[in-house]
Structure 1
Amino acid sequence: MTPMCDDGFAHSLRTVDPARVPATRVTGRPVATQGPAGGAAVYEVATDAGTLTVALAAVDGRWVVTGNDFVRAVS
């Protein structure tokens, strides 16, 4: 994952225990909620456990992930 992330976000991912990630699969196509424009974009991705929001930025001619958020589905 590190090559697809900016340095700060890649560093924070090193502390994530994969066993604690609630989602196991993507269930829908990414939907742009912002941009891509002005060097930034935000996408929401449906998963089997809720919605993953992914923030991206254009850095040195490529898009990299700068952050994320996850909202669990209410059952």
Structure 2
Amino acid sequence: MRHLIRLSDYTKEEVREIFSIADRVKHGRYKGFLEGKTIVMFFPTSSIRTRVTFEKGIHLLGGQSILFPPEALDKKKQ
């Protein structure tokens, strides 16, 4: 899996495929794709828009999301 960081990292055909997949998701082709699945997420407090977007996407695909607070991550004690 590649991460989408910069569009310039992708060819024109790959960008078109990304939008094609998004269009199919929008029109319900993947409805229920995450049915019976639970997604656990960790987000820093400052990323409210990203968190909400992921929660909505998971819900629209039929999944359930669980949000752990950032404090739940193990941190090295100094």
Report if TM-score (shorter chain) is over 0.5.
no
**Bigger fraction of residues in helix:** 2
TM-score scaled to structure 2, two decimals?
Answer: 0.26
Which structure has the larger Rg over C-alpha atoms? 2
Q: Which has the higher contact order (CA 8 A, sep 6+)?
A: 2
